[in-house]
Structures are given as C-alpha cells and as structure tokens.
C-alpha cells in the first residue's frame, strides 16, 4: 500500500485528523453555556435591530405615498382571514348538504345540478373527479368535487 | 525511511495531479454553483385541497393495493420535498411502488401575513382539514399519518386530540418530544432567548436563520467536511452530482417559520417541555398521548440524530397505551436516516411492510 504511506497521503490523513479534532472542539464550544447565552442575546439583538430598521424603511416608503411592506402584509392578513371564513362556511355548507342527503334523497334535478358544479382543475393540470364519482367512491359528502387552488 | 523510488513516484503523481487539479476544482465548483438546477419533488401529483398556504397533494399511482391512504406530514422548517427527493431515491415513489395511496400536506411558504398561525392552527385546522380531505378524496374512513420531525409531533398531537378519529396508523419519524439536555434546549430554552421578540423581527423567523442555527450545531461538519468530501469524491471519480445537488438544494430551501408557531414551539417544547410532561393544551383540550390506544404506532429513531436525539423520543414509547407499538432504531442522522442513499434498503422496506400489515380495508 505505497499510496497510503506516501507523503501526500500522510498530509491528507493529518488534515482529516485535524479537521475531526477541530469539529469536536467547536461542537463542544457551541454546546457550552456561554455560547448559548451569547447566541440567545445575539439573536434577540439582531431581531430587535431588524425590527427597528424595517420600521424605519417602512416609514420612509410610506412618506413617499407608496404602500409599505406592513401595508401589504395587512392586506395579506385580511385575505387570509377572508379565506378562513370561507373555509369554515364551506364546511358548514357541506355539513348541511350531508344532513339534507341523509334526510332525503335529492331529486334528480338537484343531483344533476350538483354534479355539474364547476370543478377547478389542479395547478399542474390534473383533472378532478366529479362529485358523483366521489360519492360513488366513498359515500363522502356531496361536496366532494370541491377543489380549491391558491 | 522513504525510499527515493517512493519520492520519485510521488513527484510524478503530484505532477499528474497538478494537471488534473484545476479540472477537479472546476467540477467541484460547478456542482456547488449549479445546485439550484437540481430537480427535486418530481413525482406527478395533483392538488386536492388548499387553504391559505397549505396544500394537500395526492400522488398518482397505477397500482394501489392498500386501502388505507397514507398522509405524509413534514416539519414547519424546510420543505416536504424531502419525502420525494429525486427520482430513484424518493420515499413517495417507493410507497407508490408498494401500492399505497399517497397524500402529502405541504405547509407552503408562509409570509408575514401568516404570522398569526400557531401550532394550534396547524394541528386543529390545517392538519385536521387535510385529513378530512384525504379521506374524502380516497373514499376511505381511516388513514395513516406519517410525520417527520416537527411534523411527527404535529401528527402525534393530532392523534392524541382525536383518539377516536380517523387515524388508524401513526408513524412518527425522528420526533422531538423530551428536549431536556438537548443542544437546542441549551440555546433557545434559556431565559435570555425571548422567542416572541425573536419571532417579531420579521413577523416570523426567516428560514435562513433557522438553517444557520441548524448548521451551527455541527459547524465544521456542515461548512467544511461536506465540501471536502465532495471534492474528494470528485478526485476519486465517484461524485454523485445528482444526489449531492438534490440534497443541497433541499437543505438550502428554507421557508419562514410563522411567528406564532415559532413562539409556541420554542416555549412549549424547549422552555417548558410540555410534550414530555403532558401539560400541553391546545384550544382548551389536553394533549394526552395516553389516549393513543386504538391506533397502531410506529416510532422510528436515528442513533446519530443530533436535532431530535433518540433519547428524547423514547419516552413516547411509554406514554402511548396502544397494544400495537413498534420501534425501529437505526443508524443514521435526522435526515439521512430517511433520505440518505441507504434509506431505500435500510428503512423504507420496514416501514412499508409495517404499513402494509395495517392497511387492509
């Protein structure tokens, strides 16, 4: 095994050994109490600075009569709240539909109207099953055809 | 004593190596610089349901043999593509090949507007609704939850909150539970670390910051050894460009951790250790792992896991009350166990076999 005894191989082995020792030493350093305290304080300080800087930049942008990041985030929040309400409302509608279905078999006209509800295709172009097929597959709610894409 | 012949051979080798070195360096640099072009999460799938940033996907399968659908749940940090890393080394692909109906819940990339999403919202709304939509799409009454890392904790909490719910099988992979004595705990569990303040800086914690913290746990290994080993494999002609780039791309894709969820997670899990001492309550309901009695439970731990050390997961085995409890303890790290090159032979078949036995109609 001449290769393993060559000067280059020895240098390589020495480097790898040094790297392993350095890894071990650094890992015990980052596991120390002092490092943990420093990291915790640094993270808090960095985020406090970021908050101040972001606030300052946002005020500057708003002074130019342009919507700032906070305004856009607020708008996003309002949309998210609206989507939350819509989701819960859809669940209520499905529950009511389920109860109606359990109470009485829907007329042919209603069933037809339900299966003809528009079905959004998936983002990557996959087709979705019809509500009738879903019901047949698992007896799930009549709103099984509901598919939403963001 | 080194002979002149050896020195001569070394010099000749060095001369040849000097010629090859620039090419090898260039190739290494090329692998590192073109990582973003790697293809990950490539299995064909369709969108079943979305709400805010959460999306439920269903993977297309030609040979479904098991009735109970499998819902995969990943952590709130990094992206769930790790379940479907690359063609030929994808857990999703493997499960599809084994005849499972596979769904995946993707938490998406939360923005500042999602700062209000807390752990309770993820468990009681997003995961609950994703489970409901999985049942609806599959036409089944039960499902299997497979969670990984924080995703495993969310799955376990969900199952505990709905002990008579639709979960038939629960598989938790490298799940954090008892965080006492962990490195994370020594960093973020201390008083000086104010999770709420940290999370409020950017209306959430930037993914890159969490990535840096993860890498800081083993700085030399993550910043030096990985690249050195890549260079050595290029020199030896054994570099697997596709595998390296896929993993590197996944590692560097870090979505924001929503502020409320981050604050909840750090406070409940690392500061107060509520999961382990059984004091966690979500929306006024106590999370009691002892309520998990009807479900079959699989616990997978990794011996070299430094993010969710196996010792921290083991108490879960004594907390659940099910009679059907299996524990697989394997060598490997937090991610490598399930996504490494050996996962296909060392762990996936065991998980699939466990699931198959428990997925009859």
Q: What is the ipTM of this complex?
A: 0.79
Q: Is residue A147 scored above 50 in pLDDT?
A: no
Number of domains in chain B: 1
The pLDDT value given to residue B258? 95
- The average pLDDT across B240-269 equals 94
Q: Is residue A54 scored above 50 in pLDDT?
A: yes
pLDDT-derived band at A104, boundaries 50, 70, 90: low
The beta-carbon neighbor of A80 closest among B9, B114, B219 is: B114
In chain B, the residue whose alpha carbon lies closest to the alpha carbon of A25 is B220
Testing the interface with B: which of A14, A19, A39, A72 to mutate, by most B Cβ within 10 A? A39
Q: Is residue B143 scored above 80 in pLDDT?
A: yes
Beta bridge partners of B59: B45
In this structure, is residue B258 part of a structural domain? yes
What's the maximum distance between 2 C-alpha atoms anywhere in chain B?
A: 80
In this structure, is residue B11 part of a structural domain? no
- The average pLDDT across B230-240 equals 93
Shortest Cα–Cα distance, A99 to chain B (Å): 16
- The average pLDDT across B266-286 equals 95
Cβ contact, residue pair B186, A36, below 8 Å: yes
pLDDT in tens, B97-125: 999 999 999 999 999 999 999 999 999 99
Cβ contact, residue pair A148, B50, below 8 Å: yes
The pLDDT value given to residue B61? 84
The pLDDT value given to residue A128? 36
Testing the interface with A: which of B55, B136, B194, B257 to mutate, by most A Cβ within 10 A? B136
The pLDDT value given to residue B2? 64
How, if at all, do strands B325-330 and B296-302 pair? parallel
pLDDT in tens, B7-52: 777 777 777 777 788 899 999 999 999 999 999 999 999 999 999 9
The beta-carbon neighbor of A2 closest among B6, B140, B203 is: B6
Beta bridge partners of B57: B47, B104
Testing the interface with B: which of A71, A76, A140, A143 to mutate, by most B Cβ within 10 A? A140
Q: Which percentage of chain A shows pLDDT scores above 70?
A: 65
Cβ contact, residue pair A83, B52, below 8 Å: yes
- The average pLDDT across A73-78 equals 93
In this structure, is residue B99 part of a structural domain? yes
Q: Is residue B70 scored above 70 in pLDDT?
A: yes
Write the CATH number for B193.
3.40.50.1820
In chain B, the residue whose alpha carbon lies closest to the alpha carbon of A70 is B112
In this structure, is residue B60 part of a structural domain? yes
The pLDDT value given to residue B168? 97
Instruction: Write down the pTM of the prediction.
Output: 0.84
- The average pLDDT across B308-330 equals 95
B-chain residues within 8 Å CB-CB of A40? 187-188, 190, 192-193
Q: Is residue A131 scored above 70 in pLDDT?
A: no
The pLDDT value given to residue A105? 55
CA-CA distances (angstroms) from residue B1 to A111, B5, B165? 92, 11, 74
Cβ contact, residue pair A69, B52, below 8 Å: no
pLDDT-derived band at A4, boundaries 50, 70, 90: low
Identify the CA nearest to B143 among candidates B162, B126, B124: B162
Q: How many residues does chain B have?
A: 361
- Check if A80 contacts B (Cβ < 8 Å): yes
The pLDDT value given to residue B151? 97
- The average pLDDT across B193-219 equals 90
Cβ contact, residue pair B46, A2, below 8 Å: no
Shortest Cα–Cα distance, B188 to chain A (Å): 7
B-chain residues within 8 Å CB-CB of A9? none
Q: Is residue A146 scored above 70 in pLDDT?
A: no
Q: Which residue has the higher pLDDT, A108 or B323?
A: B323
Tokens of A107: 């007329």
Cα distance between residue B294 and residue B292, in whole Å: 6
- The average pLDDT across B48-57 equals 96
Q: Is residue A142 scored above 80 in pLDDT?
A: no
Give the domain range for residue B44: 36-357
- The average pLDDT across B282-293 equals 95
Beta bridge partners of B285: B282
Cα distance between residue B223 and residue B26, in whole Å: 19
In this structure, is residue B10 part of a structural domain? no
């Amino acid at each position: 095994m001449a290769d393993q005894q060559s000067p280059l191989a020895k240098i390589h082995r020495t480097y790898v050994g040094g790297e392993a020792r350095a890894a071990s030493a650094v890992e015990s350093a980052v596991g120390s109490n002092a490092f943990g305290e420093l990291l915790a304080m640094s993270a808090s300080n960095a985020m406090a600075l970021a908050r101040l800087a972001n606030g300052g930049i946002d005020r500057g942008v708003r002074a130019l009569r342009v919507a700032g990041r906070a305004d856009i985030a607020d708008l996003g929040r309002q949309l998210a709240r609206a989507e939350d309400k819509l989701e819960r409302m859809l669940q209520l509608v499905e529950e009511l539909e389920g109860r109606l279905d359990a109470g009485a078999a829907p007329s042919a006209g209603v069933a037809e109207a339900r299966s003809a509800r528009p079905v959004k295709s998936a983002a990557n172009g996959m087709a979705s099953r019809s509500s009738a097929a879903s019901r047949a597959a698992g007896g799930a709610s009549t709103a099984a055809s509901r598919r939403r894409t963001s | 004593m080194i002979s002149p012949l050896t020195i001569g051979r070394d010099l000749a080798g060095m001369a040849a190596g000097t010629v090859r070195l620039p090419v090898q360096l260039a190739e290494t640099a090329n692998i590192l610089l073109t990582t973003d072009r790697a293809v990950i999460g490539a299995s064909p799938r369709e969108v079943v349901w979305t709400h805010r940033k959460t999306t439920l996907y269903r993977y297309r399968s030609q040979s479904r043999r098991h009735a109970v659908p499998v819902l995969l749940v990943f952590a709130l940090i990094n992206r769930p593509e790790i379940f479907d890393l690359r063609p030929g080394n994808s857990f999703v692909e493997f499960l599809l090949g084994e005849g499972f109906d596979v769904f995946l819940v993707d938490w998406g990339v939360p923005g500042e507007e999602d700062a209000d999403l807390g752990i309770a919202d993820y468990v009681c709304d997003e995961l609950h609704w994703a489970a409901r939509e999985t049942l609806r799409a599959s036409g089944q009454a039960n499902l299997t939850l497979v969670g990984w890392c924080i995703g495993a904790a969310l799955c376990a909490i969900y199952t505990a909150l709905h002990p008579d719910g639709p979960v038939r099988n629960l598989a938790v992979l490298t799940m954090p539970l008892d965080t006492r004595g962990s490195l994370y705990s020594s960093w973020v569990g201390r008083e000086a670390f104010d999770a709420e303040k940290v999370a409020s800086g950017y209306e959430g914690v930037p993914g890159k910051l969490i990535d840096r913290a993860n890498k800081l746990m083993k700085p030399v290994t993550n910043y030096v050894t990985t690249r050195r080993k890549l260079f050595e494999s290029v020199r030896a002609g054994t570099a697997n460009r596709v595998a390296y780039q896929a993993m590197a791309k996944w590692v560097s894709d870090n979505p924001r951790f929503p502020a409320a969820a981050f604050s909840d997670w750090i406070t409940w899990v690392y500061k107060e250790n509520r999961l382990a001492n059984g004091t966690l309550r979500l929306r006024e309901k106590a999370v009691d792992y002892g309520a998990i009695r009807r479900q079959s439970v699989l616990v997978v731990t990794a011996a070299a896991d430094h993010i969710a050390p196996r010792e921290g997961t083991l108490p879960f085995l004594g907390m659940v009350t099910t009679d059907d409890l299996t524990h697989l303890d394997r060598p490997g790290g937090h991610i490598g166990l399930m996504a490494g090159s050996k996962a296909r032979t060392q762990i996936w078949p065991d998980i699939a076999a466990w699931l198959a036995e428990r997925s009859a109609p």
